[in-house]
Structure 1
Amino acid sequence: MIESITIKNVASYDSIGVQVNGLKKVNFIYGANGCGKTTISNFLQNTFEPKFNRCSLVWQNTIPLNTLVYNKEFRERNFGKGKLGGVFTLGEATAEQIKIINDKTEELKVLKADGVKKRETLESQIKKKEDLENEFRDNTWTKIYKKYEHTFKEAFTGTLQKESFKNKLLQEFSSNTSALETFEDLKEKAKTIFGEVPQPITPIDSISFDRIVEIENDEIWKKIIVGKADVDIAKLIQKLNINDWVNQGRDYLLEDETCPFCQEKTITENFKNQLESFFDETYLNDIKSIKDLKQEYNSLTQNLINELNAIETYQKDFKQTKLNNDKYSAYLKTLISQNTTNNELLNNKVKEPSRNIEINSLKDQLTLISELITNTNIEIAKHNNIVANYNTEKNNLIRAIWKLIIEEFKTDVTKFNTDKNGLELGINSLQTQISAKLSEYGILDAEIKNLTKNVTSIEPTINEINRLLKSYGFLNFEIVPASEDGFYQIQREDGTIAEATLSEGEITFITFLYFLQLAKGGVSEETVNEERILIIDDPISSLDSSVLFVVSTLIKELIKDVKAETGNIKQIILLTHNVYFHKEVSYEGLNRKGEKSQFWILRKNNKISTIQFYAETNPIQSSYELLWREIREWEKNSGITIQNTLRRILENYFSILGNKRDDVLINKFSTQEEREICRSLLSWANEGSHTLPDDLFIEAPDGTITKYLDVFKNIFIYTENTGHYNMMMNIDENNN
């Protein structure tokens, strides 16, 4: 069956269009001419026509059935040249053959119903699987992606949608063999690898300070350097401990005889010779050694400090530095301070060679700095190794991150896989069973078609149409086989072909009878038992009122069979603009068995078609029914018209009772007030027309309206028409 119809972007249907949802076995769509009914029937007849590319159908269990459409196009197509195509039925079959075909057809129905149930179960299992996957997808997104997106987002590149993230997680769960690492380690690695592509870092040059330490350890710094002891003036100089003072003053005596101390010409050549002898070559060599070592030391330390200062400046500005700048700066500051002290000591030694000094060695501080540089270069080497193998390292990190994730989410993934595998096993089993059913169905269907082919004929169709024509008063023509095999013609009583002399109403009636036979049979032997859907669009155009009831009666027989699931017609959708035909064909009477019919009204406002669904409530009612509905729902409406409504019902229903009704009915009431109310209600029918006073009403109080309603009810009771009153008021007499 068709479950829903969508019509848009065609004829009077705009881009929003209409949806006919909730279709059942029997469906009625009422609409005035030009509101879009034929567009619907044309679409159902040829869904693949390009102009309907925005329209769609939803089939029950996704199984489409053959759709047979009756509309104006059907009449023109099948009676355009005065001929009707042959319709095959089981006309020549024996009772035994028909029983065999019917039994196999029932078997086919059971087989199909079983297949439909299995398909429904399959769809249910597929839906459960989809729900399971959607729930798992949402959970992984919330629990994992949202948790790690800021820390490891680059590891999720290519999986930034819920579905792709879920698929990646399942893939990693089944294939990831990386070693499990801690979150902190991975986070630290991610700082280096993720983000900007890392660049190589130049290692820091190592420092050499062996010569500095060697100078610091030279024994000359502790040596007391003095002049030669066997010179005459040596005793005095040593006694007074003025070696350094005399040595400094000696430079002033080389070219002058004046004593630098007393300013007298007391400096003789002999004195000068003694001084030269006192400060001999050994003394001079030691002094030279002190000065040379001091100069070398100062140069080495200053160059090294300059180098270390340059390292500090560069590393502080370098964003990717691996050096612990705080430690480095502290070590360097201490080194500079120690070196300053040593320079003062060395200067003192040069000035006073006879002094013994203790140099503060820079070795410990330089060792700390050297170790810091060495450790930094180790980190730089690691970094450069990562850079050299960036893609490999990045992929390893990504796999390690997913390993951490799947380990954390292991329980949930395992449960999901178990549940999913169970559902998939069930789905595969059902698909296998359905395939087997389809194969079995195809074999049985082919067998039925072969049996049908041997016993079908178009002759019963001719006989049935002629019988219906005579039954409904069409006596001046009949259906006869045409000269061309497989076609019918219309023939007059005198034997002439009636193609050109038939009225439009006669043609309409004949083609509708032909449509009914086609609905029950088939255009070929193989399609006689084919399940189908009927779309009937205004079958009573150009027909008089008597034929209207004939057509409605024939359609109601079809409806009864469809509701009882008898025959091969599975669904009917009827569209009409005729109110009387709609009421007649949709009237159920006492035959209310089976599924309820569904109702819609199609309208066109501002050249745009719209539709309204009324479910099981028939929206097309007679004026008499509408009057009773006003009584039933009087509390929802104004009380202004209530008296007028009561009078009109009494006029319609009691007009057959004659003049005696007034006094007889009025006297049935015991109180004067009730008699006056009854008289006012009955006076409408007596006068037979509106008068000015009758049209003037004021809204009565609820108490007065209730009185009118009580008297109105009693009129039906006193005239023994309680059953009609209860029926029209929807009162269940069994519960009353």
Structure 2
Amino acid sequence: MIKKIQLKNIASYDEVGIELDNLKKINFIYGSNGSGKTTLSNQIASSNNLGNSNCNISWENNEKLQTLIYNKQFRKDNFESATIEGVFTIGSATQEELKVIEQKQRELQELKEEGIKKKGSFEKIENDIAKLHKEAEEDFWESIYKFYEPNFKEAFRGFQYKKTFKEKLLQEFDKNIENVLTLDELTKNSSIIFGEVPVHIQKLIIPNYKDLINIQDNKIFSKKIVGKSDIDISDLILKLNINDWVNEGRSHLTDSTTCPFCQNETISTKFRKNLEDYFDESFLKDTQSIDSLHGKYKEFSTSLTSYFEKIIKDETNNKNSKLNLETFSINFKLLKEIFEQNILLITKKIKEPSKVIRLNSFNDTLQELISIISETNIEIINHNKIVANYKESRANLVNNIWTYIVKEHNDIIKRFSKKIHNFGQGVTSLNLQIKEKRKDYSNLNEEIKLLTKNVTSVQPAVDSINNTLKQFGFLSFSIIASSKQPKHYELQRENGESAQSTLSEGEITFITFLYFMQLVKGSQIEDEVSQERVLIVDDPISSLDSTVLFVVSTLLKGVIHNIKLNVGNVKQLIVLTHNVYFHKEISYSNGRESNSNINSYWILRKNKNITNIQFYDSKNPISTSYELLWSELKNRDKTSNTSTQNVMRRIIENYFKILGKFKDDELIEKFPTVENQEICRSLLCWINDGSHCLTDDLFIELQYDSTEKYLEVFEQIFELTNHKSHYDMMMQD
């Protein structure tokens, strides 16, 4: 069964087009001439053609049925050649054979229904799987993707949609790799690889600081540097502990004998000699050594300090720096302070050689700085390896990130994977069952085709069409088996001449429809007689008089009746018409059936040369002034007798005289009694002469003081003209 039709970009259908959704078993589409009905039926017919993007049809359960379409193209395809292709129907079967076929068809229907149930179960599982996937997508996205996105967004490239991200997780989960890096390692590598394309970095040079260590460890700083002890003045100097003061004072002596401190004449030649002997060569050598160490210490410490300052400056401006700048700067500041303190200590030693000093050790601090440089160089080496193999390193990092994530969230991925696996087993089982049902269905269908093939013939269709033609007064031609081509028909006049090119428009329209109705029951292909089908009927009453209009509607009502009872091969009907009366007749329901799940109604309209469609669900939108007349008649107790008579006259005028083209005498002569003929004549007189017969109307009304007699005659008019079903339809509550 067709569930949805979409049509666009053709004729009066624009690029938006129309959509007929929620089509039911029986569908009525009303549209005035030129509104796009024929385009719709033609496009449905051609929707099977490859490349036809104008029309798209969706089928229930994706089960495509045979589509039979009655429209102008059907007439052109079947009645413009010399012969007409035969229609195979079941006509020569015995009652027993028919029962066997019917039983097999019931079994086939049961198999189909079982298959549909299995397919429904299959679709339910698929829906459950889809729901599970959707929930997993949301869960994985919120708990995993968003958590790792800030650092690993580049690793997720190509998987930045919920569905693709979930699928990638499952793919990586199946790999089950054991060795994974830590989150810190992955984050650090990501900062290198996922930023700008990394460039080669020079390693930091570890400076030589052995000379500074040697100076720091020199024992001279712990030595008391004093003069010779066997000199006359040595006892006094040592006793007063003025070695450094005396040594300092020597620099103030001049050639004069006057003491620069007390200004007395105390500087004798002997005193000068004692001073020179006291501060002998050994003393001079030691003090000179301290002076030298002082200079070297300043030189080496300044050089090392400058190097470290350069490192700090360069790495501060280096966006790719691997140096722990903060820790390095703290230790450098501490080292610099130690150097400054030691220089002051050495300076003090120079001034006071006899003092013992101990230089502050910079070993730990300097070693910390060297360690930081070494660690930095290790990172630089790793960085440069990445640079040398950037593509490979990037791919490895991405793989490592996915591996880490899967291992970290193994539990929730495993639970989801297990549920999917369990569902998959159910799907596999149902697939096998559906496959078996399809096989059984195919075998039984072939058996039915063989049974029907043995009892099918093209002759029953000929007999049925000719009987209908005779029944409704088409006596001047008939359809016969072709003498020129087997299993084909010809149209023939009573005198034996071909009627193919001489039929009137009404005759060719009627027989075309009768031929179509035989196709509804059978097929032009012998083994497709029992095939299920969908009917599309487009304005079948064009060029037909009122009598034939009701024949057509009656035949289609039979199809509708069978569809409602789920009898026969026709599973769906779509009727398109511009005729209000035909629409009303064909869509008539006896009022005892609920049509909400069976019927649907649509109206095609053209506005500014663009076709659009409106859906009315199960409510029939065709309500005319004619229908309102019947409504007024049903509520006659609220109006006067004269109004009721006038309503009946207008109904007769619309239905019999305008639509049906009945003559007055034809209607009057249907009544056997004079009394009823007189009442009928009074109704018709008002129609013909208007106000000129008003007096007669009043006379009749006075003679029959109740409208009941009028109503009786009114009903008999429909009954005697074989249109009682229309009366019943319009008078129903």
Q: Report the TM-score, using the length of structure 1 for normalisation.
A: 0.78
Letter in structure 1 aligned against 2:56: S
Contact 2:259 2:266 in 1 (8 A): no
Q: Which moved more, 1:473-482 or 1:534-543?
A: 473-482
TM-fit CA distance, 1:367:
2.8
User: Are 1:516 and 2:517 counterparts?
Assistant: yes
- Per-residue CA shift, 1:563-615, capped at 9, x if unaligned? 11221111111111111111222223367477642211111111111111222
Provide, for residues 308-365 of structure 1, a one-character-per-residue CA deviation record: whole Å limited to 9, x for no partner. Answer: 444444455455222414422431342133133124214314xxxxx412223132x3
In 2, are the aligned partners of 1:90 and 1:457 still within 8 Å (CA)? Answer: yes
Q: Which residue of 2 aligns with 1:587?
A: 588
- AA at the equivalent of 1:337: E
- Report sequence identity in percent: 40
| 2:464 paired residue number | 464
1:26 partner letter: I
Find the counterpart in structure 2 of residue 574 from structure 1: 575
Match of 1:357 in 2: 355
Could you tell me which amino acid in structure 2 is paired with residue 530 of structure 1?
Answer: Q
How big is the alpha-carbon RMSD for the aligned residues of Structure 1 and Structure 2? Answer: 4.1
Equivalent residues in 2 for 1:115-194 (5 A)? 115-178=115-178, 191=191, 194=194
Q: Distance in 1 between matches of 2:501 and 2:649?
A: 50
Q: 1:139 to 1:291 in 2, by over 3 A?
A: closer
Q: 1:330 aligns with which of 329, 333, 337?
A: 333
C-alpha separation in 2, matches of 1:239 and 1:59: 124
TM-fit CA distance, 1:41: 0.8
Q: How many matched pairs?
A: 657
Code of the residue aligned with 1:604 in structure 2: it is K
Distance 1:653 1:56 in 2: 47
Cα distance in 2, alignment partners of residues 148 and 88 from structure 1: 70
In 2, the alpha carbon distance for the partners of 1:729 and 1:451 equals 46
Residues 212-221 or 112-121, more deviating = 212-221
Match of 1:369 in 2: 366
Instruction: Tell me the CA shift for residue 188 of structure 1.
Output: 6.0
SS at match of 1:615: coil
Does residue 27 of structure 2 align to residue 38 of structure 1? no
Letter in 2 for 1:54: N
The worse-fitting range, judged by mean Cα deviation, of 481-490 and 534-543 is 481-490
Tell me, which stretches of 5 or more residues in structure 1 are unaligned?
350-354, 634-641, 657-684, 691-714, 732-736
Paired amino acid for 1:551: V
| Cα distance change, pair 59–275 in 1 and its aligned pair in 2 (3 A) | closer
**Equivalent residue for 2:628?**
626
Q: What is the Cα deviation at residue 92 of structure 1?
A: 2.5
Q: Deviations over 1:11-66 (max 9, x none)?
A: 11111111112222211111111001001111121214478413211111100111
- Aligned counterparts of 1:590 and 1:235: Cα–Cα separation in 2: 146
Contact 1:221 1:356 in 2 (8 A): no
The residue aligned with 1:616 is 618
Maintained 8 Å contact 1:294/1:346: no
Matches within 5 A, 1:372-451: 372-382=369-379, 384-385=381-382, 387-389=384-386, 402=402, 405-406=405-406, 409-451=409-451
Distance in structure 1 (CA, Å) of the matches to 2:160 and 2:228: 89
- Deviating more after overlay: 551-560 vs 212-221: 212-221
Q: Is the contact made by 1:555 and 1:585 (CA closer than 8 Å) also made in structure 2?
A: yes
CA gap 1:214/1:403 in 2 versus in 1, 3 angstroms: same
With over 3 angstroms needed to count, the CA separation of the structure-2 counterparts of 1:234 and 1:631, relative to structure 1, is farther
Residues 98, 415 of structure 1: CA spacing in aligned structure 2 closer, same or farther, 3 A cutoff? same
Residue of structure 2 equivalent to 1:697: none
Between stretches 412-421 and 578-587, larger displacement belongs to 412-421
Confirm or deny: 8 A CA contact 1:18 1:610 kept in the other structure: yes
Q: Which residue of 2 aligns with 1:527?
A: 528
1:132/1:213 Cα in 2 relative to 1: closer, same or farther (>3 Å)? same
Q: Residue 652 of structure 1 is aligned with which of 625, 647, 656?
A: 647
Structure 2 CA distance, aligned partners of 1:220 and 1:524?
A: 122
Q: CA deviation at 1:533?
A: 1.1
**Who is 1:61 aligned against?**
61
Asked if 1:299 corresponds to 2:294, the answer is no
Where do 1:717-732 residues align within 5 Å?
none
Q: 2: CA distance between counterparts of 1:582 and 1:598?
A: 13
2:342 alignment partner in structure 1: 339
The Cα shift of 1:270 comes to 9.3
User: Contact 1:316–1:325 at 8 Å: present in 2 too?
Assistant: no
Match of 1:600 among 602, 618, 630: 602
Specify the SS of the correspondent of 2:616: strand
TM-superposed CA distance for 1:401, in Å, is: 5.0
* 1:212–1:300 Cα contact (<8 Å) kept: no
- In the alignment, the residues of structure 1 paired with residue 283 and residue 620 of structure 2 have an alpha-carbon distance, to the nearest angstrom, of 136
Equivalent position amino acid for 2:646 in 1: E
CA shift for structure 1 position 377: 1.8
1:539 and 2:534 matched: no
Q: Deviations for 1:624-645, whole angstroms, at most 9, x for unmatched residues? A: 5325769999xxxxxxxx9999
Q: Which residue of 1 aligns with 2:251?
A: 248
Cα distance in 2, alignment partners of residues 645 and 150 from structure 1: 86
Give, as a single letter, the amino acid of the residue that structure 1 aligns with 2:339: I
**Residue identity in the other structure for 2:381:** N
Q: Is the 8 A contact 1:331 1:369 kept in 2?
A: no
Q: Is the 8 A contact 1:627 1:649 kept in 2?
A: no
- Aligned to 2:251, the other structure's residue is in SS state helix
Query: Equivalents in 1 of 2:408, 2:3: separation in Å?
Result: 46
Displacement, 1:172? 3.2
Counterpart residue type for residue 368 of structure 2: E
Query: CA separation in 2, counterparts of 1:655 and 1:518?
Result: 40
TM-score w.r.t. structure 2 length? 0.78
Rate the CA distance shift 1:405–1:98 in 2: closer, same or farther, 3 A: same
Checking the alignment, whether the CA contact within 8 Å between 1:215 and 1:293 is kept in structure 2 is no
> Structure 1 pair 514/348, CA: closer, same or farther in 2 (3 Å)?
same
Shift of residue 510 of structure 1?
A: 1.0
Whether the 8 Å contact between 2:298 and 2:343 is mirrored in structure 1 is no
Is the Cα–Cα contact under 8 Å of residues 452 and 527 in structure 2 kept in the other structure? yes
The superposition leaves residues 143-168 of structure 1 with CA deviations (integer Å, 9 ceiling, x where unpaired) of 22223322443342332111111112
Q: Does 1:72 align with 2:72?
A: yes
**Is there any run of 5+ residues in structure 2 with no aligned partner, and where?**
652-685, 692-705, 716-727
Change in CA separation of 1:222 and 1:101 when aligned onto 2, cut-off 3 Å: same
2:546, 2:234 → 1: CA distance? 163
How many Å apart are 1:729 and its aligned residue?
Answer: 10
CA gap of 1:7–1:629, structure 2 versus 1, over 3 A, is: farther
In 2, the alpha carbon distance for the partners of 1:271 and 1:555 equals 153
